[in-house]
Amino acid sequence: MQRTFLLAKIHNCTLTAANLDYIGSISIDRTLMDAAGILPFEQVQVVNKANGERLITYAIPAPANSGAIELNGAAARLGMKGDTLIIMTYAQFTAEELKEHSPTVVLVDENNRIVTVNHYGQLLEEAVN
């Protein structure tokens, strides 16, 4: 059996733009994607803390160290510049794979600069043992 768990999260990032006429997705500063382990075109869930909207789309890299977090296409209607977002990825794991899994959580400041990168393998290890 496989179960779905958090793979990575960028927590409390700030939406820097909403581009309705851009081809759909969410653009994320490449530095943040790399820190979280999010790959280009990987499926992400986006939660907008300002309005409660949730959406699933895919990530595309914005220039590294730009601080850019941009909702594109139809998703642009679900947020406004300045909104606080949480961006998450999930993966499916077998019981054996789960023993080695450590979710990554990237915490950022108001300019979308990395404050800290946390790994939560210990919490998961305690839960599965």
What backbone torsions phi and psi does residue 89 show, to the nearest 5 degrees?
A: -120, 155
Question: Residue 47 is inside which H or E element, if any?
Answer: strand 43-48
Q: Please tell me the pTM assigned to this model.
A: 0.93
Q: pLDDT value at position 128?
A: 62
pLDDT digits over 3-21, tens only? 999 999 999 999 999 999 9
Two tokens, residue 54: 């949730």
23 class by beta-carbon count within 10 Å (0-12 exposed, 13-18 middle, 19+ buried): exposed
Q: What domains can you pick out in the chain, each with its CATH number? A: 2-128 (2.40.40.20)
Low-confidence ranges of the chain (pLDDT < 50): none
* Cα(124)–Cα(104) distance, integer angstroms: 12
Cβ-based neighbour number of residue 76 at 10 Å = 19
Q: What is the pLDDT of residue 100?
A: 86
* Catalytic residue IDs: 25, 58
pLDDT of res. 67: 98
**Which residues are CB-contacts of 79 (< 8 A; sequence separation ≥ 6)?**
15, 18, 48, 50, 51, 53, 71, 85
